Amino acid sequence: MQYPRHIASAAVSTALALLAWTTPVNAAPPEPDDELAVVTLPVATWVVVETRDYATGRTGSAAVLLGIARERGLSRQATLYAVSFDRTTTARIETLALALYPGATNVVVSASLDGGPFCPSAWRVSADGKALELADDAAVAFLTGLYGKRELQLAVVRPLSVPFVLTFVVAGAEPGLALVAERGGWGAAPAISEARH
């Protein structure tokens, strides 16, 4: 009996797949070298760009800084954004693993600069639910608090979970945030410890 061509082709493909699955492979995972992989922070590089809000047509400035997010021994990329449009400023933190609960409004985020004590503040969950944000005076206070500092650690405290720690090398914040500050109309701002809601 002769089978239609597509059935014969499927049978051959299935047989090859089973053969590949059951045949031992000579490749082996690399041998462990008894050293832990160490994740290092990137060099502080504030990337400053002119930006446009396509929904409203407004133009502004943004400064972006990459960092590392850690939870339960796993490390992932984190991003800190400082954005100013029409004299309003927003500070935003994002990482793919930051699981925010739908409907959540505020999350406690504690900030530490250069290994100092952690100062808690309330950050709001972004409209898209993918990030945490500070706005206006709180954002300006937070961002100007980075001036002259080397390292920022943010501990995001979520219900029933260990803190999610985001670390950023913030050296050079003042020149890195200059255009954002100009667009946001920043004046003398309170210290980071005063940026509470």
Question: Is residue 39 a part of any domain in this protein?
Answer: no
Range of the structural domain that residue 155 is part of: 47-194
- Tokens standing for residue 119: 């100062």
Q: Please count the other Cβ atoms lying within 10 Å of the Cβ belonging to residue 62.
A: 19
Nearest to 69 by CA among 154, 144, 140: 154
Number of folded domains that form the chain: 1
Task: Average the pLDDT over 14-23 and give the result.
Answer: 37
Least trusted range by pLDDT, from 100-104, 110-114, 145-149: 100-104
Q: Is residue 69 a contact partner of residue 78, using CB atoms and an 8 Å limit?
A: yes
Tokens of 125: 């969950």
Instruction: Look at residue 126 and tell me if it is in a domain.
Output: yes
pLDDT tens across 105-114, in order?
888 899 999 9
> Domain with 179 in it: what CATH number?
2.60.40
